[in-house]
């Protein structure tokens, strides 16, 4: 892989074909439960419209999209251990409210990294993380914080996130996404237990689970990192996705 043949563009610089490649990659990168987030549906347009320069796209020599990182600027002056439990949803709302209040940003917030399927496992995510750190420095931001979604946690929905965080394989951090950030010099800060909130009625959950729900209680839902509580009598189910706050300084 030659880094000289790669280009970094922001959202305003993409061709129509590249924008379509971006949209297609988003639609296959995450499970349906995540794609159902109302926070995404209600706010992603604002992020693209108002923070185009914080959306970083990695383009190959053939002009096709390899991957991207979506970030937002925020103003954050508390200590890192105060980063809120509502992780990802908070970061989206914070960037928008700071922007509306004209608060000068001092921190970069990471929302997602996606590498297109055929380009995965070639080291590109590390390129993007390095480029986002450059963006942080160029903008004079003090920190880069990300509520990360460990990529293999969905295979261990019953394991607590604390236990999962400490899982090792041959002395290396087990989860590749946590490991990638730690190897890039990120500090693990805390677990955000309510990072994404997804709610719906029984029909919504039955549709996601592709089966009839017969009892109230915790249920496994495909792609979820931890179980979902479903209450038949009140016709609702609620998922709180746990993520992990990490930070670069
Ligand atoms: C997670 C993702 C961004 C990683 O990008 P990538 O460019 O394929 O990853 P890299 O090639 O840089 O590999 C980074 C590390 O993860 C490991 N890895 C990557 N994919 C893996 C997989 N499917 N299973 C196990 N390990 C994997 C690599 O071996 C490497 O580990 P090492 O540094 O110890 O050698 C990519 O798989 C993706 O887009 N996934 C879907 C979206 C997502 O989950 N994003 C992250 C949360 S926002």
CATH number of the domain that residue 218 is part of: 3.40.630.30
Return the best residue to mutate from 70, 91, 121 for the ligand 1 pocket (most ligand atoms within 8 A of CB).
121
Ligand 1 within 6 A of CB of 178: no
- What's the whole-model pTM score? 0.96
Ligand 1 within 6 A of CB of 151: yes
Distance (Å) from CA 125 to ligand 1 centroid: 7
Q: Decide if 245 contacts 189 (C-beta within 8 A).
A: yes
Dihedral angle, C-alpha 32, 34, 40, 45, nearest 10 °: -50
Distance (Å) from CA 28 to ligand 1 centroid: 15
Whether residue 2 is predicted with pLDDT greater than 70 in this model: the reply is: no
Give the atom of ligand 1 at the shortest distance from the alpha carbon of 121: 11
Which of the residue ranges 6-10, 74-78, 208-212, 228-232 would you say has the lowest mean pLDDT? 6-10
pLDDT for 5? 74
Q: Decide if 180 contacts 148 (C-beta within 8 A).
A: no
Whether residue 107 is predicted with pLDDT greater than 90 in this model: the reply is: yes
Ligand 1 within 6 A of CB of 155: no
pLDDT for 3? 57
Ligand 1 within 6 A of CB of 114: yes
Distance (Å) from CA 1 to ligand 1 centroid: 16
Q: How confident is the model at residue 68 (pLDDT cuts 50, 70, 90)?
A: very high
Q: How confident is the model at residue 6 (pLDDT cuts 50, 70, 90)?
A: confident
Distance (Å) from CA 39 to ligand 1 centroid: 25
Average pLDDT in the 167-193 region?
Answer: 97
Ligand 1 within 6 A of CB of 243: no
Ligand 1 within 6 A of CB of 113: yes
Whether residue 55 is predicted with pLDDT greater than 90 in this model: the reply is: yes
Domain hosting 138: range is 3-248
Looking at the structure of the chain, the number of domains it has is: 1
């Amino acid at each position: 892989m030659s880094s000289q043949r790669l280009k970094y563009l922001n959202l305003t610089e993409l061709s129509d074909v590249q924008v379509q490649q971006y949209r297609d990659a988003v639609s296959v990168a995450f499970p349906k439960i995540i794609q159902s987030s109302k926070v995404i549906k209600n706010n992603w347009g604002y992020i693209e419209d108002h923070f185009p320069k914080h959306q970083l796209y990695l383009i190959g020599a053939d002009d096709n999209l390899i991957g991207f990182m979506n970030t937002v600027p925020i103003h954050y002056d508390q200590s890192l251990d105060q980063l809120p439990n509502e992780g990802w949803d908070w970061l989206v709302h914070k960037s928008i409210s700071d922007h509306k209040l004209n608060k000068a940003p001092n921190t970069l917030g990471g929302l997602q990294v996606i590498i297109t399927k055929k380009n995965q496992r070639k080291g590109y995510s590390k390129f993007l993380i390095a480029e986002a750190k450059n963006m942080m420095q160029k903008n004079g931001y003090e920190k880069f914080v990300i509520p990360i979604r460990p990529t293999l946690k969905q295979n261990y929905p019953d394991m607590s996130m604390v236990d999962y965080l400490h899982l090792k394989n041959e002395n290396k951090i087990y989860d590749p996404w946590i490991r990638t950030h730690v190897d890039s010099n990120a500090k693990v800060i805390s677990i955000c237990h309510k990072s994404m909130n997804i709610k719906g009625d029984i029909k919504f959950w039955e549709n996601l689970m592709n089966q009839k729900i017969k009892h109230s209680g915790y249920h496994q839902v495909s792609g979820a990192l931890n179980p979902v509580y479903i209450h038949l009598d009140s016709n609702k189910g609620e998922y709180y996705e746990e993520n992990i706050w990490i930070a670069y300084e």
